[in-house]
Amino acid sequence: MAIPQTEKHFDAAAYLAWEDAQIERHEYVAGEVFAMVGVRQSHNVATGNLYTLVRQALKATPCRVFIESVKARVEAADCFFYPDVLVTCDPRDRLTPDYVSHPLLIAEVLSESTAAFDRGGKFAAYRKLDSLQDYVLIDLAARRIEVFRRNADNHWVLHDYGVGESVELASLALQLPLDEILEDTAEEAAPENSEAAPR
């Protein structure tokens, strides 16, 4: 999603109390709170596609899949984010209804305004989560999906997938067709000289 301008200064507890009363969502980074912005239709469709595929695959398991409105807590970086898709299989996360602290997988759909942060500062924070095994970046413009996977040496290795390939989510033992994740996300450009519809 996005992190635009700073709104408030809080500690984590004050942020959670304040955020609970807000209509709009805000992310929290080391005392600063940032308003979330809206997303394009294609972003929402891709998020829903991934959520649906993963949720269906994980039925009858202890894992839970969340979409867009559940916070990920990164205590080591003093952050709360709203990932597009988040998966946790840790029973401790059922004890904190406002957020998840032990995600196994986090996915973000990139946009022009958020791509640099999703690849940079946000990923740096997420890497502090000992539980996290897969960080998934969905690039709609390039029609590609990048999966950063933590290996046995605790290093992050990039696995890049294109059209027609299956995306491996090793943390969940899943192979998902990239084309199904990106289904119905192509955007049509509006005509340059479009006129108002006739009355």
Judged by phi (left if over 0) then psi (alpha if -120 to 50, else beta), residue 117 lies in alpha
- How far is residue 118's CA from residue 125's CA, in Å, rounded to a whole number? 10
132 falls within a domain: yes
The residue range of the domain holding 152 is 39-181
92 falls within a domain: yes
pLDDT confidence band for 154 (50 / 70 / 90): very high
Tell me the CA distances in angstroms from 56 to 28, 53, 84, 135, 143, one per residue in order. 31, 5, 17, 20, 23
pTM of the predicted model as reported, rounded to 2 decimal places? 0.89
pLDDT at 198 over 70: no
182 residue type, one letter: L
195 falls within a domain: no
pLDDT at 199 over 90: no
pLDDT at 197 over 60: no
Averaged pLDDT of the chain? 91
∠ Cα 140 143 145 (to 5°) = 85
pLDDT digits (tens, 9 = 90+) for 31-40: 999 888 878 8
- How far is residue 148's CA from residue 153's CA, in Å, rounded to a whole number? 14
Instruction: Identify which of 1, 19, 2 has the alpha carbon closest to the alpha carbon of residue 10.
Output: 19
21 falls within a domain: no
108 falls within a domain: yes
23 falls within a domain: no
pLDDT at 126 over 70: yes
pLDDT digits (tens, 9 = 90+) for 40-94: 899 999 999 999 999 999 999 999 999 999 999 999 999 999 999 999 999 999 9
pLDDT at 2 over 50: no
What pLDDT, on a 0 to 100 scale, did the predictor assign at position 192? 67
| Block residue for tokens 């239709």 | 41
What pLDDT, on a 0 to 100 scale, did the predictor assign at position 7? 53
- How far is residue 98's CA from residue 78's CA, in Å, rounded to a whole number? 15
- How far is residue 123's CA from residue 140's CA, in Å, rounded to a whole number? 18
CATH number at 79 reads: 3.90.1570.10
60 falls within a domain: yes
Number of domains in the chain: 1
111 falls within a domain: yes
